[in-house]
Amino acid sequence: MKKIILFLLVIFPINVFAIADHAKSSILIESSTGTIILENNSNEKASIASMTKMMTLLIIMEYLDNGKISLSDMVPISDNAASMGGSQVYLSPNSKMPLEVLLKSVSIASANDSAVALAEYVAGSTEKFVELMNKRSEEIGLTNTHFMNVHGLDEENHYSTAYDMAMIARELVKHEKILEYSSKYEDYVTHPDGTNTWIVNTNKLINYYPGLDGLKTGFTNTAGYCITATAKRGNMRLISVVMGEENNKVRNQDTMELLNYGFSNYKMETILKKDDVVGSINIEFGSKKKVDLVLKSDCQDLVSILEENNYSYEIIKNKIKAPVKKGDVVGKINLYSGNTKISEFDLTVKENVRKSNFFELFINNLVNLTKGYY
């Protein structure tokens, strides 16, 4: 079957340069590895419109995961937040709204007023929150992004690239909760006075592209039509970005072309699964001297559907002292295809190991002494 596919590709080659050719810049990556599948002008700086809100959402999700805020928090709505124009859910000044409702309205309806309210709640002001956004960009390693606001309305010195947007999206989809919101087509925001605002997803692709569950659209006169989209089929999640499109229809068409190319021509090869035991590690001063090593995540490689690989791996162990918890990184696996290192994956312990008490240390030393270890 692979020979037949190869023959067809030779006779009817795919013109990859024609994919998403309406966009001023574009990129397609695989999410777990960050591998770039296709790109065009992906490092060209440009206005990004409401795709800005991916970074706003990323910081909110990280604060949630760290326990600094919770979904049930009641967020004060300032005059500043309520007065935001553009996409909005008409928040009332001097009221309070559940954090989850605001998060949902940003994810689904790209609500500027909700984005500002969340930023003010987390950092005290939008200016302080923007500092968090730029700091987080640096931590991710982005060199062509600078934020001036939390919503994406056109402003001088507010820019990014298709590549950087894809990297932010890659971080954001690690927080799977966000996909519960971004995959909804419609919902309602209930206000303190009992009235409802109907919100409809700005990303119409979620209604008809199989596996697509996010992530963020954008439009301003300067940025044109933009979208960062993500779709998952089987064990492979792709992220695409198109920027500077002339209209919504072309934006969606180019996005589908990118995703179709990725899903048609690539697959994820799983070499080892999360929690697979790959060896053991010694724990100094531990209640157990030795414990199993397991993978923190699936050990995978993105490959062409026509490709066959001969994989091997080496285990690198850190020197570990108790206590150690499951989830702590204690080493890594280097994955090779032939003689070429292609990626690395973190290792952790299969179980928690506490520090030995005085009596256990005394017994261990006595045993080692009798075995001639000293």
* Domain of residue 339, CATH code: 2.60.410.10
Q: What percent of the chain has a predicted confidence (pLDDT) above 70?
A: 91
Question: Does 128 share its domain with 80?
Answer: yes
Question: Does 174 share its domain with 57?
Answer: yes
Q: What percent of the chain has a predicted confidence (pLDDT) above 90?
A: 81
Question: Does 59 share its domain with 208?
Answer: yes
CA distance 215 to 172: 9
Supply the range of the domain harboring residue 221: 11-267
DSSP letter assigned to residue 356: P
What integer best gives the mean pLDDT of the chain?
91
pLDDT at residue 36 tops 80: yes
pLDDT at residue 357 tops 70: no
Question: Does 222 share its domain with 278?
Answer: no
Q: Hey, is 101 helix, strand or coil?
A: helix
Last residue of a domain, one of 204, 232, 267: 267
pLDDT at residue 5 in the model: 38
CB atoms closer than 10 angstroms to residue 36: 14
pLDDT at residue 289 in the model: 86
CA distance 178 to 182: 6
Last residue of a domain, one of 224, 248, 267: 267
CA distance 360 to 355: 9
For residue 11, what pLDDT band results from cuts at 50, 70 and 90? very low
Question: Does 241 share its domain with 326?
Answer: no
Secondary structure (DSSP) of 189-228? EE-TTS-EEEEE-S-GGGGTSTTEEEEEEEEETTTEEEEE
**How many Cα atoms occupy the beta-carbon half-sphere of 348 within 13 Å?**
17
Last residue of a domain, one of 241, 267, 293: 267
Determine the average pLDDT of the residues in 31-42: 95
Tell me: the pLDDT tens digits for 95-134?
999 999 999 999 999 999 999 999 999 999 999 999 999 9
Q: Hey, is 126 helix, strand or coil?
A: helix
Tell me: the pLDDT tens digits for 296-341?
999 999 999 888 888 999 999 999 988 999 999 999 999 998 888 9
Question: Does 101 share its domain with 125?
Answer: yes
pLDDT at residue 355 in the model: 84
Residue 6 lies in a domain: no
What total of structural domains would you count in the chain?
2
Tell me: the pLDDT tens digits for 123-164?
999 999 999 999 999 999 999 999 999 999 999 999 999 999
pLDDT at residue 6 in the model: 39
Question: Does 254 share its domain with 281?
Answer: no
Tell me: the pLDDT tens digits for 199-220?
999 999 999 999 999 999 999 9
Question: Does 109 share its domain with 176?
Answer: yes
pTM here is 0.86
pLDDT at residue 4 tops 50: no
pLDDT at residue 287 in the model: 85
- Annotated catalytic residues are 50, 53, 110
